[in-house]
A and B are shown apart, each in its own frame.
Chain A
Amino acid sequence: MTDKIYEIVSRVLNIPISQITEDSGQEDMEAWDSFNVYVLLDEIESAFNVRFNLDETIEVKKVSDLRNLLKRHGAV
């Protein structure tokens, strides 16, 4: 089974799922820009039915940050 986070990142940023790792993020993905990251967060929130606070939102720089946040909210 493919990882749900990867699936969403792949769909929202339009990147093949095979290219996504825990370290993927603003450093190595062009599509991960200052706007798209918020679109991505918005979709992650709907998909996992959570809501991050403002500071958490700003923290997210790569996929592993997303996973940690979701863990903190008990969503994964």
Chain B
Amino acid sequence: MLREQKLSHYINKSKSLNIEKQEKKIRVALLGSFTLNGMEETLRVKCSEIGTGCSSYVSGYNQYNQEILNDDSGLYRFQPDITFLIIDVRSVLGTTYHSPYTISETERKQIIEKKAGEVSRLVKTFVKKTDSKLVISNLQVPSYSPYGIYETKTSYGLREMVLEFNSMLNSLAKTEESVYVYDFDGFVRKYGERNIFDFRQYFIGDIKVSFDYIPHLMHDWMGYIKAALGLSRKCIVLDLDNTLWGGIVGEDGFEGIKLGSNPSGRAFTEFQNVLLGLHKRGIILAINSKNNYDEAIRVIKEHPDMVLREEHFASMRINWDDKVLNMKEIASELNIGMDSLVFIDDDPVNREFVRINLPQILTVEIPDDASQYAETLMDMNDFDLLKITEEDIGRGRMYLQDRQRKEFERSATDLGEFLDQLDIRLTIKSANDFTIPRISQLTLKTNQFNLTTKRYQEEDIRKLANQSDYWVGCAQVEDKFGNNGITGVFIVKKESKTEWLIDTFLLSCRIMGRKIEDGVLGYILQKAKESGVQTVKGEFMPTKRNQPCENFLSDYGFSKESGHWSYSLSNAIKIPTHLKLSIDQ
């Protein structure tokens, strides 16, 4: 089970935080139907652990209705980025919670429709009044029923009522873009109703999540905060011996390692299955192992019980080099930042070595017991995304294509020839319902080739796309090896009839080095010229990470004028000839 600190640890630590010093900031509001003490303290500490200053607002006890309905409430004045609303099953059902069977089935249905309708209207009011994301917890399905064993034979009984309410919440979250449902019922299933709900704490102070489990609940909620901040990790780097399989292949041999249907082997198989599940939704896998390459690769290719095969790994470093060096090579081969990596290794010495040298990597404190590997991975909130796009799901395949592309590059004699033969098709798309989620995701995640590193939530992009003085677009890149999907974004501010400003220009690291940027920028300039604009201005706002595009504007031919880079449209507009450009409005 997830190891957590006691609540008092967080309450104390929260008193000595300096949120001003943190690079990232987030404003979090908490609303609820019961005592929420201890939650904001825990969130503030957990945010500071990931370099984020968290300001928080907690509504008065059971004041969530008024806070949401009143335009001038403390909640709206606080202007949260993300709001958590938790109402509990007892408050929602009232007397029906204890006596569901003094009323008819029809009346029970009416109660749920009425209650779900109230919450739905409340949520819609909230969405109209603020840009904050809303995470609403669903209701815990009670384990107890006065009908006892007959409960499950009862038509529209207590449990079905709650399940129906929850399913109505899910429908709401599917239609309201900025609303998410937190599966509080799942949380209670995971840790147990008798642990979460402590009668004594409930009687004393209307505490409906017991002290010991508030940190666990906040751990789950941090998944939303990390995702909203764009801090989701993209890649898991794995050791092999005693991590992906039991034993040491160099000593125990191909036949001797533990994997498959014996009890200790099953722990590793389960772990691999969870990894495969993550891989299939877009998490990249890589290997960093001290081993003889031939022995290790034979297991990966030929062992009958291996779940993960060569095709699942985007990068493999199986050698006797040091792990930090390997890690740097993996990051550079995959073209992703260290802060996108997670490292899993059973050896505490290796972990410490990587942690000290590359603190940006999340090195997981994996337990000694392999039977806990799978659940350790399942407890992580670092892979959460607010939206899983097609690009995410296809990412594994894309990295495989990348490896093939690199092999092709090595066989080509010069860069120009290589780019020509890649047969790149660049499609410029406008912002619409299909592309907006991905556009926002790229602004939140892209660190390297990003001129201004402005972060935009989905709601922000939707607004800008509807403004006549903004032009929001994106670029899809395909080549002979496959489709990279939407991998470039630009936002242009039409400052006047004669002058446009590039507010955002970014490329996913996956497609860097193919002069795609010149194609997209050329297209922007062309479009500006057609619209009668004389000058397009751009900015480079340096961060720790965006050196790759430092010279992009000047290399293209922009000149520095009064703090801005600008390009006069009386100059020629270059679009590289190896790109086949098309426009998809």
B11 interface residue per 8 A CB criterion = yes
Distance of A39 Cα from B8 Cα, bound (Å): 7
- 1/0 per residue, CB under 8 A from A, across B37-58: the answer is 1100000000000000000000
Where chain B touches its partner, the secondary structure class is helix
Query: What residue of chain A has the Cβ atom nearest to residue B8's Cβ?
Result: A12
Report which of A11, A12, A40, A54 forms a contact with B204, defined as CB distance below 8 A: A54
Measured between beta carbons, the chain B residues less than 8 angstroms from A48 are none
Measured between beta carbons, the chain B residues less than 8 angstroms from A14 are 11-12, 15
Query: How distant is B91 from chain A, measured CB to nearest CB, in Å?
Result: 19
Question: Assuming A14-B12, A14-B15, is B7 touching A39 (CB within 8 A)?
Answer: yes
Query: How distant is A56 from chain B, measured CB to nearest CB, in Å?
Result: 10
Query: How distant is B1 from chain A, measured CB to nearest CB, in Å?
Result: 16
Of A35, A53, A54, A58, chain B has the most CB atoms within 10 Å of the CB of: A35
Measured between beta carbons, the chain A residues less than 8 angstroms from B200 are 53-54, 57
B212–A42 contact, CB under 8 A? Answer: yes
- 1/0 per residue, CB under 8 A from B, across A18-44: the answer is 000000000000000011101110110
Measured between beta carbons, the chain B residues less than 8 angstroms from A38 are 201, 204-205, 207, 211
B150 interface residue per 8 A CB criterion = no
Measured between beta carbons, the chain A residues less than 8 angstroms from B298 are none
Query: How distant is A49 from chain B, measured CB to nearest CB, in Å?
Result: 15
Query: How distant is A34 from chain B, measured CB to nearest CB, in Å?
Result: 7
Distance of A57 Cα from B212 Cα, bound (Å): 17
Query: What residue of chain A has the Cβ atom nearest to residue B203's Cβ?
Result: A54
Distance of A34 Cα from B38 Cα, bound (Å): 12
Measured between beta carbons, the chain A residues less than 8 angstroms from B207 are 38
A42–B12 contact, CB under 8 A? Answer: no
Query: How distant is B443 from chain A, measured CB to nearest CB, in Å?
Result: 40
Query: What residue of chain A has the Cβ atom nearest to residue B201's Cβ?
Result: A38
A39–B205 contact, CB under 8 A? Answer: no
Measured between beta carbons, the chain A residues less than 8 angstroms from B37 are 35
Query: How distant is B139 from chain A, measured CB to nearest CB, in Å?
Result: 25
Report which of A11, A34, A46, A58 forms a contact with B12, defined as CB distance below 8 A: A11
B204–A39 contact, CB under 8 A? Answer: no
Of A36, A42, A46, A53, chain B has the most CB atoms within 10 Å of the CB of: A42
B6 interface residue per 8 A CB criterion = yes
Query: What residue of chain B has the Cβ atom nearest to residue A34's Cβ?
Result: B205
A35–B212 contact, CB under 8 A? Answer: no
A39–B211 contact, CB under 8 A? Answer: yes
Chain B residues numbered 192-231 whose CB sits less than 8 Å from any CB in chain A: 200-201, 203-205, 207, 211-212
- 1/0 per residue, CB under 8 A from A, across B68-80: the answer is 0000000000000
Report which of B7, B8, B203, B212 forms a contact with A11, defined as CB distance below 8 A: B8
Of B8, B35, B205, chain A has the most CB atoms within 10 Å of the CB of: B8
Measured between beta carbons, the chain A residues less than 8 angstroms from B6 are 43, 46
Query: What residue of chain A has the Cβ atom nearest to residue B207's Cβ?
Result: A38
Chain B residues numbered 1-51 whose CB sits less than 8 Å from any CB in chain A: 6-8, 11-12, 15, 35, 37-38
B residues with a Cβ closer than 8 A to A are 6-8, 11-12, 15, 35, 37-38, 200-201, 203-205, 207, 211-212
Q: List 19 A-B contacts (CB under 8 A).
A: A11-B8, A11-B12, A14-B11, A14-B15, A35-B35, A35-B38, A35-B205, A38-B201, A38-B204, A38-B211, A39-B8, A39-B11, A39-B211, A42-B201, A42-B211, A46-B6, A54-B204, A57-B200, A57-B204
Sorted nearest first, the 7 A-B pairs with minimum C-beta distance are A12-B8, A14-B12, A35-B37, A42-B211, A39-B8, A54-B200, A39-B211
